[in-house]
Amino acid sequence: MTDQLIARLVSDLKPQEPIIDSKLWLHCTVCLLIVASVVIAMMGLRTDFPTALQDGAMLWKPGIFLFAWISSILLILDLSRPIKRVEKRHFVPFFLAGTILLWQLIVQLPFLSTSDAALSLRDPSAIYCLSVIIGGGGIVMVVSWKFWFSRTASPNPTALGALAGFSAGCLAATAYALHCDKDGILYIFIYYGISVVTLSFLGSLLSKKLLKW
Amino acid sequence: MTKYNSDRWDEWMRAALKGDQNAYHLLLTSLRFWLAAYFAKRVHYNAAEDLVQDTLLTLHAKRQTFDPRYPFGPWMAAVARHRWIDHLRATLKYVETQLEDDFPSQKTGRDACAKHDVKALLKLIPPPQAKVIELAKLREMSIEEVSKQTGHSPSSVKVMIHRGMKKMMAAVEKVQDD
């Protein structure tokens, strides 16, 4: 039986290009540029662009998601092959994203109140935020799944699936943050957070079916 | 030259990725014996050959995840380990759902393999739970018989079996994470 199997596998052999880390980086960077271009072309940069550039909002808000995105790509690369090689330094961008978030939380804390939270929840523009991040991120996730994730053999498929959704969500959030002029930390936590968590959850659910090997 | 020609695996795998069928045949033939030895140490002999074939199929399907910058041996060992853990997980599920005390299974081959694996995993859980699982699942005693022998109530025996199986499953997951 095993002899027959070996003969069948040998006759079925075709040249196969190994998965290469730099190709994933290139793919994701191109996706980020495309999503950012679409957001800017269709919705424009945020209306208070010059002021936001001066007070740093134009940098720190996309920066949170950009750092988280970089970290998620590094971890995806760590988890894509059967041998697990998760390196601690790959969490550094996550730590930077968390630091920016914490810094903003501390800066904005004196101005936070329950009415701000209520206003954040009722903001009409939030639907765009949710649609762009979940919709755009979802498309990126599907494309990346075909390009990379379906070819992996992860020691932890659920974590890899969750990271696929998380990175796609962070990518779309980085692009949308160029347009969005809502800098309230509650708004970011609620709408950006919900979108990214939804995609991560979706990724982990899909992984149970699609990333098992 | 080593027993399984493992010093040539890297060279054969790199050639196989380029489509060299001769190198691939040499690699798979050599791996077949290495895998048979690997699984013989870990599972019942009835299951070993199936696992060898499963692992060869996995190697074929996932060969693009081999990074030619690194040696082939650890990659192959990780694939074999993954298949082994998958097998243990399936065995534990089977033992929990299929080896019912009131309905002894007719699939004796599968049962023998499952019992062999469970016996090895019993060392990973507390002795009282291991004892109850051994009596109920390996010696196929009924819950009432186990209850009489151990002095635990029947419901307590059921809970101990369930918890013990969960602990064994967790131990298998931990092996995978390590």
Of A18-27, A38-47, A101-110, B90-99, the one with minimum mean pLDDT is: B90-99
Question: What integer best gives the mean pLDDT of chain B?
Answer: 85
Give the confidence band of B1 by pLDDT, cuts at 50, 70, 90.
Answer: very low
Least CB–CB distance from A18: residue in B17, B79, B176: B17
Give a yes or no: residue B110 inside a domain: yes
Taking CA atoms, what residue in A is nearest to B62? A153
Residues B133 and B163 both lie in one domain:
yes
Last residue of a domain, one of B91, B125, B145: B91
Last residue of a domain, one of B57, B91, B125: B91
Give a yes or no: residue B115 inside a domain: yes
Q: How far is B148 from chain A (nearest CA, A)?
A: 42
DSSP structural state of residue A18: P
Give a yes or no: residue B1 inside a domain: no
Inspect the interface and report whether the beta carbons of A16 and B78 lie closer than 8 Å: no
Q: Which of A102, A98, A84, A91 is nearest to A157 (CA)?
A: A84
Cβ contacts below 8 Å, chain A against chain B, sum to 84
For residues A134 and A195, the answer to whether their CB atoms sit within 8 Å is: yes
Taking CA atoms, what residue in B is nearest to A2? B53
Q: Which domain holds residue B42?
A: 6-91
Does ipTM top 0.95? no
The total number of residues written for chain A in this structure: 213
Could you give the number of structural domains in chain B?
Answer: 2
SS3 content of chain A, % helix, strand, coil (to 5): 80, 0, 20
Q: Which residues of B touch A24 (CB under 8 A)?
A: none
Inspect the interface and report whether the beta carbons of B82 and A213 lie closer than 8 Å: yes
SS3 content of chain B, % helix, strand, coil (to 5): 80, 0, 20
- pLDDT digits over A123-150, tens only? 888 899 999 999 999 999 999 999 999 9
> Which residues lie below 8 Å from residue B124, measured CB to CB, with a gap of 6+?
B167, B168, B171
pLDDT value for B168: 85
Residues B76 and B123 both lie in one domain:
no
Inspect the interface and report whether the beta carbons of A6 and B29 lie closer than 8 Å: yes
Least CB–CB distance from B19: residue in A15, A84, A213: A15
Q: Which residues of A touch B63 (CB under 8 A)?
A: 16
pLDDT value for B106: 53
pLDDT value for B124: 83
Least CB–CB distance from B32: residue in A6, A12, A82: A6
- pLDDT digits over B86-136, tens only? 898 888 877 776 655 444 555 666 677 778 888 888 888 888 888 988 888
Q: How far is A204 from chain B (nearest CA, A)?
A: 17
What Cα–Cα distance (Å) separates residue A67 from each residue in A41, A92, A172? Answer: 24, 9, 13
- Specify the pTM: 0.84
Residues B74 and B139 both lie in one domain:
no
Q: How far is B162 from chain A (nearest CA, A)?
A: 24
Taking CA atoms, what residue in A is nearest to B75? A83
Give the confidence band of B167 by pLDDT, cuts at 50, 70, 90.
Answer: confident
| Phi, psi of B36, deg, nearest 5 | -60, -40
Residue A179 zone, left/alpha/beta (φ > 0; ψ -120 to 50; rest): alpha
pLDDT value for B166: 85
Residues B85 and B114 both lie in one domain:
no
Q: Which residues of B touch A151 (CB under 8 A)?
A: 64-65
Give the confidence band of A120 by pLDDT, cuts at 50, 70, 90.
Answer: low
